[in-house]
Structure 1
């Protein structure tokens, strides 16, 4: 059955793996050990305590396994006309489909499995990166992002409970790419020092992604103004990573925003007031959920030009 799924997903550039639900108990133990052995910040502790849902959902089928789907992501290159210049700004891999892809993939999987008499249910409230690494589907990079063969870190892992029986219940002890032991490129390039030499777990509250995805406040004074380069998120550790060399050669979409559209975005008004073209582009690129941080983030980039 897994081969059937893999072949169907390969046509869309995706990958798949399966494991048993017994892995959930082992993941909980992993996270407990992490809390006991590592000095976690309040955000990381809250993520472990409140984000994940370990209870099996009530569904109309017997849950026997977990299906992992790896979706290939792409970078989007944006250009904003501003004061007579075209300012390049990137959207790191995955943001352009972040809110659309889950429903689309779930619908596809339900149809695909339904043809063989099976069912599935998306389960977004599990530690997808850890599950992917422990199942052997992916490996962590030193930057705490997971890498899938053939995709690098330009990927997103989606999880589904299914009623498909599985004979193999893989549980990998090798979680980190071997090349990370002697590389250190991401440690050197991290603009905020969130990736550290002396421990694997990054300081999430120093990560530029953490800082620029959240709005309502100016950037901390310790943040170097020159590091801003993305509409939100950060791509420095991924673009320097040797494991992403092939992915960086992939074609990317380029989108231009006119001077007037840039002005509207900087004003921070509701999307309901936007002209149709701008409104459609914002929705198509999944920017709407982040609109509140766009004025601050763009101004930080424009101030360098």
Structure 2
């Protein structure tokens, strides 16, 4: 069972636990929100973009923001302003998610502007090193979504939404990715790792939408039913065992573009839900 912490979001995405609060991107309002455990909210950044946009933090504490349609990677200055952090023009527009590993390497994915029935997978993962160098480190990703890095910085897990898999890569010392493999044959979106090595991911069961706790290989260890589609999840709270799920109405009979348009312009159905988890947060983000 889950409890409602917050309502009135457009589309909540990029769930992160940081500095004692849940942080998220409220798509449709251009806002990055920080939410306390009582449901109080603070607008911590306004992003000059539409959707998607995603967040994480550099080792020095600066907030990073990916403005997807513009293909920009921004960081927040002490005065709250957002400025360009690295030149990503070589990657093009259509960026999506971000994660920063323990070495300060930033992984950004993109190439999401295609139809799932097109028969191609132009998605990619790019690396931005601490000195600002940018290069692609993986290609052929079928709509890359949420990413997570294991606590030892050895493995990157990527949600391939249109392939219906969680895909893993070994992280090499220079940040390159190798040894691509299926981590679990389970669809994913915004994901988080726990201290027992499982991944929490929004998903679906025969009974409808849910947040799933999945072991490597695909065994579903736990299920939190939802009354609307989940978009992202994270673990946090005082002991790292509060599961936060960002959810909103999604009509399966509608197309992708129709659903996004309705969520952005229609009723604000986005919520933050919470539940207790069996293991604490681990890894990044």
Q: TM-score range by the shorter chain?
A: under 0.3
- If each structure's strand is expressed as a fraction of its own residues, which one has the higher value? 2
Q: With the length of structure 1 as denominator, give the TM-score of the two structures.
A: 0.23
Higher relative contact order (CA 8 A, sep 6+): 1
